[in-house]
């Protein structure tokens, strides 16, 4: 029996035979392609109802894990060895390590990897480390790494605490109305920086194994950290001002002129402890979790302390251990994966009451966050009701996940219809309360957009702010359309104007959470279409034409992570299944099902589909921090192509329309 009883359309028996018959032509009949993809997706659902795919990142995670093992003492040699094996596997033939496949060597990653391998016992004379040494010196040496890497090196005496940006815990004492307080920076940076400020206050040092040193990796043989204003900085500029303030704070730190230190540490500790409740570690993301463990160690928590033990356990849950390697994930993505997988399955024709969808819907409803979090500091009127990205992360629900969950629930019929509708109303209320003054929606909070804070010396991780973005705004508009909102409603009009202001001159939109302009353009167009915008408007036609203009000769679409740094790479890259699906979904939103571009894109997906019904992308198409941290969602190449093929199959049929479907429930929204 097929996994997808209730599928409307393609025969569910014998699709593999039909695929075989058509393999010689290179094109599988569309219904069989959709059925195969759906079968594959349903086979990955967990018994509890959720989907969660591996979330892959760069080797900074494995390197940091080795550093943490040595920081805490008595490192497990088997674990360290497997982490080191993973790092070695990712080294390029030239000797460096990359932020993303196909990218250039990255100085911070390469220094971290080098030091981690030395901690793991790899001798300095090893050919791999000799190659890495040459790459590091060519890129400017250890002084060229980012601030967070320098601080981690300070923990082992490899960099001078006096030469790193000050991160004093007194920042938690600044009142909410202060221009620079912790709620003016993004939630993820806040969760990283508060425990880091505790570490900075103690400035701990661990001795590395004998002979392990980075001394030979400074271009002049020693650290260049001298406290001077960085080169090419205007004397009278905000960057110069913040750098001068940083040097003053560092000087006060050296002289122990910190009268509020005890109070600040107590408040920072309490802040951290409060947010460890209801979460799988601090903010449920790797860097914050790692920093919180080191902060607890600095504060005197013993290994036997239940809180410390639980945080360490949550951290190592992120590990994927195989025979000879151990790799780390930055977090888990079950809510995101479940919402997207269920939505794609429903859009493929699966009955709304199908057991797989019902279980997914009930699991999602159980994950709704009904407690206030950090978002309530700026949104003082909204009631809790959002969803987070991870299994448990109550302090940090986000708009993108919540909108996607609501879209998914709009296509599902749970057994308890009353509970489902109540959950949807509460979620919709929360999203509406999170609309920013500019008409768009940000990810986690409102109005975290003071660009001056990008000049703070420790802001070189490029993630200080959380402004409204086209991709999140587009997804919210798509959700509002599904819930009965019209283009004429005030929230929709403001969001449409935001998107029009944010559109690039060539017709594309920036993608904050996916790579990059293909992603942003796709979800801006889907939102506009769903809310009832006239897709014959010139700006929509310009966006569709941009998508067609960047199509690859093989019929697919692709874009490199490098487009965040180099505008010349915008919309350029090897074809991937996920990005091809996004481009097609953008074209379909504009009503383009018949152009050569659309047909060739669909053909690309059919030709590249694997025998088991799935697609596999080797490249990274997810974005953590633009220019700094990228992701590969292993399920992106499963549910996005299914969604695109299903949309094509359903809406190209004679008389097809983009009707709003809410699975028989009462419409939640109104104009």
Cβ burial, residue 214 (10 Å; 0-12/13-18/19+): buried
Contacts of 593 (CB under 8 A, 6+ apart): 587, 648, 651, 652
Comparing 56-328 with 485-653, is the CATH topology the same?
A: yes
In angstroms, how far is CA 357 from the centroid of its own chain? Answer: 25
- Give residue 248's pLDDT: 65
The packing angle between helices 306-317 and 286-298, to 10°, is 150
- Reduced to 3 states (helix: H, G, I; strand: E, B; else coil), residue 105 is strand
Dihedral sign computed on CA atoms, order 435, 436, 441, 443: negative
Is 637 in a helix, a strand, or coil? helix
- Distances in Å between the alpha carbon of 111 and those of 42, 96, 114, 325, 366? 42, 9, 5, 21, 43
Cβ count near 269 (within 10 Å) = 20
The answer to whether residue 665 scores a pLDDT higher than 60 is: no
Sequence-ordered list of residues with C-beta below 8 angstroms from that of 509, at least 6 positions apart, any chain: 470, 471, 474, 499, 502, 503, 517, 520, 521, 524, 543
Indicate the pLDDT class of residue 597, thresholds 50, 70 and 90: very high
DSSP states of 235-293 as a string? Answer: SSSHHHHHHHHHHHHHHHHHTT--TTHHHHHHHHHHHHHHHHTTBSSGGGSHHHHHHHH
Task: Please state the pTM of the whole predicted model.
Answer: 0.92
Quickly state the pLDDT bin for 179 (edges 50, 70, 90): confident
Q: Please count the CA atoms within 13 angstroms of the CA of 36 that sit on its side-chain side.
A: 25
The domain locations on the chain are 56-328, 485-653
What is the average per-residue pLDDT within 372-399?
Answer: 97
Interval 342-357: pLDDT, tens: 999 999 999 999 999 9
Mean pLDDT within 257-264: 85
Asked if pLDDT for residue 6 goes beyond 90, the answer is no
Average pLDDT over residues 254-272: 88
The set of residues, in sequence order, having a beta carbon less than 8 Å from that of 57 and lying 6+ positions away, is 328, 329, 330, 624, 629, 630, 631, 632
DSSP 106-152: -HHHHHHHHHHHHHTT--TT-HHHHHHHHHHHHTT-GGGS-HHHHHH
Residue 409's pLDDT is what? 98
Please determine, for residue 631, whether its predicted confidence score (pLDDT) is greater than 70. Answer: yes
Residue 176 pLDDT grade (very low, low, confident, very high; cuts 50, 70, 90): confident
Nearest 10 degrees: Cα torsion 170, 397, 60, 580: -140
> What is the average per-residue pLDDT within 253-274?
88
Helix axes 77-89, 107-119, angle to 10 degrees: 140
Instruction: Write out the two tokens for 246.
Output: 């940083």
CATH number given to 485-653: 1.50.10.20
Helix pair 127-138, 107-119: axis angle to 10 deg = 150
Place of tokens 């496949």: 101
* Contact in structure between 461 and 417 (CB atoms under 8 Å): no
Which of 11-20, 493-502, 534-543 comes out lowest in average pLDDT? Answer: 11-20
Q: Active-site residue numbers?
A: 400
- pLDDT at position 455 is 78
Q: Which residue has the higher pLDDT, 460 or 374?
A: 374
User: Angle 155-159-163 (CA atoms, 0-180°, nearest 5)?
Assistant: 110
pLDDT tens track for 398-457: 999 999 999 999 999 999 999 999 999 999 999 999 999 999 999 999 999 998 887 777
Classified as helix, coil or strand, 451 is helix
CB distance 170 to 251 below 8 Å: no
Provide mean pLDDT across the span 174-183. 87
Side-chain-side CA neighbours of 643 within 13 Å: the count stands at 27
Contact residues for 175 (Cβ-Cβ < 8 A; gap 6+): 181
Q: Say if CB 526 and CB 492 are below 8 A apart.
A: no
Q: How much of the chain exceeds pLDDT 90, in percent? A: 82
Alpha-carbon span 307 to 573, nearest angstrom = 46
Give the mean pLDDT of 165-177.
90
Q: Which two tokens stand for residue 423?
A: 């959950």
Closest CA to 473 of 520, 440, 436: 440
As a whole number, the mean pLDDT across the chain is 90
pLDDT above 90 for 271: yes
Q: Tokens standing for 259? A: 């009268």
Q: Is residue 482 a contact partner of residue 203, using CB atoms and an 8 Å limit?
A: no
pLDDT > 90? residue 66: yes
d(Cα 379, Cα 240) in Å, to the nearest integer? 33
Tokens 């669909």, located at residue:
602
* For residue 222, pLDDT beyond 80: no
d(CA 333, CA 331): 7
pLDDT tens digits along 297-324: 999 999 999 999 999 999 999 999 999 9
List Cβ neighbours of 591 (8 Å cut-off, separation of 6 or more). Answer: 535
- Banded pLDDT at 510 (limits 50, 70, 90): very high
| Per-residue confidence (pLDDT) for residue 12, from 0 to 100 | 31
Model confidence at 500: pLDDT above 50: yes
User: Confidence class of residue 14 from pLDDT cuts 50, 70 and 90?
Assistant: very low
φ, ψ of residue 355 in degrees (nearest 5): -60, -40
Q: What is the pLDDT of residues 227-247, one digit of tens each?
A: 444 555 554 455 565 556 656
Q: What percent of the chain has pLDDT over 70?
A: 88
| DSSP per position, 323-360 | SS-EEE-S---HHHHHHHHHHHHHHTT--TT-HHHHHH
Please identify, in words, the CATH class of the domain defined by 56-328. mainly alpha
Locus of tokens 């909070």: 445
User: Residue range 362-388: average pLDDT?
Assistant: 97
Burial class from Cβ neighbours inside 10 Å (0-12, 13-18, 19+) for residue 126 reads middle
Amino acid 236: pLDDT = 46
pLDDT score recorded for residue 16:
40
């Amino acid at each position: 029996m097929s996994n997808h009883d209730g599928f409307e359309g393609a025969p569910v028996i014998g699709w593999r035979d039909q695929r075989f018959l058509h393999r010689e032509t290179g094109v599988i009949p569309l219904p069989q392609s959709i059925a195969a993809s759906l079968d594959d997706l349903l086979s990955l659902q967990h018994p509890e109802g959720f989907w969660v795919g591996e979330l892959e990142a760069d080797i900074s995670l494995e390197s940091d894990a080795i550093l943490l093992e040595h920081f805490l003492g008595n490192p497990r040699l088997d674990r360290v060895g497997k982490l080191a094996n993973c790092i070695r596997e990712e080294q390029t033939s030239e000797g460096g390590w990359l932020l993303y496949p196909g990218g250039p060597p990255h100085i911070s990653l390469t220094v971290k990897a080098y030091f981690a391998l030395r901690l793991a016992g790899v001798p300095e004379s090893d050919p791999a480390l000799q190659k890495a040494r040459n790459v590091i010196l060519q890129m400017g040496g250890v002084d060229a790494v980012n601030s967070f890497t320098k601080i981690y090196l300070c923990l082992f005496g490899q960099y001078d605490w006096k030469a790193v940006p000050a991160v004093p815990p007194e920042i938690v004492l600044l009142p909410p109305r202060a221009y620079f307080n912790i709620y003016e920076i993004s939630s993820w940076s806040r969760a990283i920086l508060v425990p880091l400020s505790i570490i900075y206050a103690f400035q701990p040092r661990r001795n590395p194994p004998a002979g392990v040193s980075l001394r030979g990796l400074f271009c002049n043989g020693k650290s260049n950290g001298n406290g001077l204003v960085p080169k090419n900085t205007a004397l009278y500029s905000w960057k110069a001002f913040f750098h001068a303030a940083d040097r003053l704070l560092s000087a006060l730190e050296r002289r122990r002129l910190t009268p509020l230190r005890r109070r600040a540490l107590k408040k920072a500790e309490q802040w951290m402890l409060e947010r460890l409740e209801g979460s799988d570690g601090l903010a449920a993301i790797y860097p914050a979790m790692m920093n919180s463990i080191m902060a607890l160690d600095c504060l005197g928590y013993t290994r036997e302390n239940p809180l410390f033990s639980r945080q360490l356990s949550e951290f190592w849950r992120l590990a994927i251990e195989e025979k000879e390697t151990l790799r780390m994930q930055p977090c888990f993505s079950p809510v995101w994966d479940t919402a997207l997988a269920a939505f794609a399955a429903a859009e493929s024709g699966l009955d709304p009451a199908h057991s797989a969808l019902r279980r997914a819907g009930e699991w999602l409803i159980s994950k709704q966050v009904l407690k206030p979090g950090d978002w309530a500091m700026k949104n003082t009127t909204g009631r809790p009701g959002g969803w987070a990205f991870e299994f448990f992360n109550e302090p940090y629900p986000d708009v993108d996940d919540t909108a996607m969950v609501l879209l998914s629930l709009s296509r599902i019929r749970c057994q308890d219809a009353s509970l489902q509708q109540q959950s949807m109303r509460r979620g919709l209320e929360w999203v509406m309360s999170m609309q920013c003054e500019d008409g768009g929606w940000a990810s986690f909070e409102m109005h975290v957009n003071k660009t001056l804070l990008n000049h703070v010396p420790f802001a070189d991780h490029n993630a200080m702010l959380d402004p409204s973005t086209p991709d999140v705004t587009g997804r919210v508009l798509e959700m509002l359309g599904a819930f009965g909102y019209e283009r004429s409603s005030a929230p929709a009009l403001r969001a449409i104007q935001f998107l029009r202001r944010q559109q690039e001159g060539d017709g594309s939109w920036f993608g904050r959470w996916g790579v990059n302009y293909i992603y942003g353009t796709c979800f801006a167009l889907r939102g506009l279409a769903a809310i009832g915008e006239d897709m014959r408007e010139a700006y929509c036609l310009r966006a569709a034409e941009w998508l067609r203009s960047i199509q690859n000769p093989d019929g697919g679409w692709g874009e490199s992570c490098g487009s965040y740094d180099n505008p010349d790479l915008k919309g350029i890259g090897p074809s991937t299944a996920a990005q091809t699906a996004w481009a097609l979904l953008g074209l379909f939103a504009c009503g383009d099902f018949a152009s050569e571009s659309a047909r060739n894109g669909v053909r690309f997906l059919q030709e590249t589909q694997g025998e088991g019904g799935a697609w596999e992308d080797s490249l990274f198409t997810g974005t953590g921090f633009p220019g700094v941290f990228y992701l590969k969602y292993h399920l992106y190449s499963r549910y996005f192509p299914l969604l695109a093929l299903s949309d094509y199959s359903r809406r190209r049929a004679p008389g097809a329309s983009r009707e709003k479907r809410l699975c028989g429930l009462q419409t939640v929204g109104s104009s």
